[in-house]
């Protein structure tokens, strides 16, 4: 079989499309390969549909908790089929439009099939063999499935499938206490499912700052059946019921959602056949320019595994496009101040260093925390879980990290992200003018507090003592 020759092959149609579009615009002959809906995980199975469902959950939870504000309301019915149809109507249309746009695009050839490397810069796609001097691997990840006796036979859902299930489960068990468990636990729990969350660790969202993780765990323990430091040892199906052996007892549910992390798709692509190296976790290894060890082969996004976030993949894609098309102006990716959010209830927004990481790395820091309900707006909405925590360099005042839990945390943290990105000190927020009584005052209060601690620490050094943390 004769190879089809291209200038560029892009595998994956999430953020990889930014590279293929830029290259085609420069007149390069581009092959785009995708074995699923166009638009990648974020559009079809991740960020977008999950946040559509989160909004539904937020609406339902607002109604369910309205009585504390003197508003007596109730939910008459949850129309799950309508919720699913509303969620995916525009998503499916967008995916189809992206596919059609690529089919019609000048200089782009679309291949709708799975890809695998069969030699040096040679890719098999269905019955076709493609080759190019430049290849971009942007094929993402898939749900990681733990080896639990009986799991495969009993059946389970993942993020790929659970948001489209035909009926709302009466009892949902979630295996995993990370961001997926937090978000989808909120979704299904708010609209009527009895939710049990099972996690091997002692707390929810353990990658977050320890104070945030602790508060999230407390909040979810009030809402759900939370099984901490627990492990599913066996799964059995009895008719429509799943029985999970957990510790000395068992849990019965109608649907089991496995949310135990993500696995790189590098193995399915057989990247080793073209010489591309992966790390011990199976993710493609790249340098700061997103080049793999094979000249002309690049990688970006979740398959690289630095940050499994859509905005990170977009950042990397912009750099890959620039570095391929303008090699004399290559730029390294700057990951400084990469933010993240968890759209549970409460929400979490975070950026930078956690307190436990600062301690582990021996980095000196000053820290301060301010509660939502210590501000006028925070008290008015009765957010008694929410707080803002700031870590800063006690010498320069530069922000090391900011962690927010509570109402609109994903929005509030952005102020800290913007300052951190340009390595500006806490004083910029502390000395600014904030609208009263907006919720943003909680950000200013936390930053003003840590700024005072830093100032006191400097004065203390002059008098022989300090008030900041020395890790």
Q: Is 431 left (phi over 0), alpha (psi -120 to 50) or beta?
A: alpha
Separation in Å, CA 321 to CA 39, 242, 290, 307, 464: 17, 48, 10, 19, 53
State whether the Cα torsion 268-269-270-275 is positive or negative. negative
* Residue listed under structure tokens 């695998």: 116
Q: How far apart are CA 53 and CA 87, in angstroms?
A: 7
Closest CA to 274 of 119, 70, 93, 388: 119
Give first-to-last CA distance, the chain, whole Å: 62
Token pair in block for residue 300: 């970006």
3-class SS of residue 296: coil
H or E stretch covering 378 = helix 376-380
List the catalytic residue out of 55, 336, 384, 436.
436
Contact 216, 343 (CB under 8 A): no
- Centre a 10 Å sphere on the Cβ of residue 429 and count the other Cβ atoms it contains: 25
**In degrees rounded to 5, what are phi and psi of residue 92?**
-65, -35
Q: How far apart are CA 257 and CA 17, in angstroms?
A: 30
Q: How far apart are CA 297 and CA 40, in angstroms?
A: 20
319 is catalytic: no
**Residue 248 DSSP label:** T
| Per-residue b or e along 139-175, where b marks 16 or more CB atoms closer than 10 Å to that residue's CB | bbbbbeeeebebbeebebbbbeebbebeebbebbbbb
Q: Which are the catalytic amino acids? A: 436
């Amino acid at each position: 079989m004769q190879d089809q020759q291209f200038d560029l092959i892009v595998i994956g149609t999430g953020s990889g499309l930014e590279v293929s579009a830029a290259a085609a615009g420069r007149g390069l002959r581009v092959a785009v390969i995708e074995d699923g809906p166009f638009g990648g995980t974020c559009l079809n199975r991740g960020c977008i549909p999950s946040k559509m469902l989160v909004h539904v959950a937020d609406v339902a939870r607002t109604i369910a908790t309205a009585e504390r504000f003197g508003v007596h309301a109730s939910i008459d019915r949850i129309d799950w089929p309508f919720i699913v149809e509303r969620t995916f109507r525009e998503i499916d249309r967008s995916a189809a439009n992206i596919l059609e746009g690529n089919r019609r695009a000048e200089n782009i050839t679309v291949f709708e099939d799975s890809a695998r490397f069969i030699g040096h810069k040679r890719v098999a796609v269905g019955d076709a063999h493609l080759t190019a001097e430049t290849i971009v691997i942007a094929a993402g990840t898939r749900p990681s499935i733990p080896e639990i006796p009986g799991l495969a036979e009993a059946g389970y859902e993942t993020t790929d499938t659970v948001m489209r299930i035909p009926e709302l489960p009466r009892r949902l068990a979630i295996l995993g206490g990370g961001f997926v468990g937090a978000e989808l636990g909120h979704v299904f729990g708010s609209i009527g499912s009895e939710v049990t969350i099972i996690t091997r660790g002692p707390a929810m969202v353990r990658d977050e700052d320890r104070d945030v993780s602790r508060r999230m765990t407390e909040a979810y323990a009030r809402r759900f059946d939370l099984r901490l430091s627990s492990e599913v040892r066996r799964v059995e199906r009895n008719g429509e019921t799943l029985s999970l052996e957990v510790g000395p007892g068992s849990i019965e549910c109608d649907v089991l959602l496995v949310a135990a992390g993500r696995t790189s798709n590098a193995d399915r692509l057989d990247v080793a056949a073209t010489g591309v190296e992966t790390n011990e976790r199976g993710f493609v290894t790249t340098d700061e320019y997103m080049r793999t060890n094979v000249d002309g082969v690049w990688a970006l996004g979740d398959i690289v595994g630095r940050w499994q976030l859509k905005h990170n993949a977009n950042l990397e894609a912009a750099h890959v496009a620039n570095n391929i098309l303008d090699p004399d102006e290559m730029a390294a990716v700057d990951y400084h101040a990469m933010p993240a959010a968890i759209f549970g209830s409460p929400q979490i927004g975070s950026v930078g260093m956690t307190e436990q990481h600062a301690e582990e790395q021996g980095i000196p820091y000053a820290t301060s925390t301010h509660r939502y309900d210590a501000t006028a707006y925070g008290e008015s909405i009765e957010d008694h879980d929410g707080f803002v925590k700031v870590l800063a360099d006690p010498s320069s005042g530069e922000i090391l990290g900011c962690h927010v839990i509570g109402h609109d945390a994903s929005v509030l943290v952005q102020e800290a992200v913007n300052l951190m990105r340009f390595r500006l000190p806490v004083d910029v927020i502390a000395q600014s003018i904030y609208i009263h009584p907006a919720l943003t005052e909680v950000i200013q209060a936390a930053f003003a507090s840590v700024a005072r601690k830093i100032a006191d620490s400097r004065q203390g050094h002059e008098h022989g003592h300090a008030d900041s943390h020395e890790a």
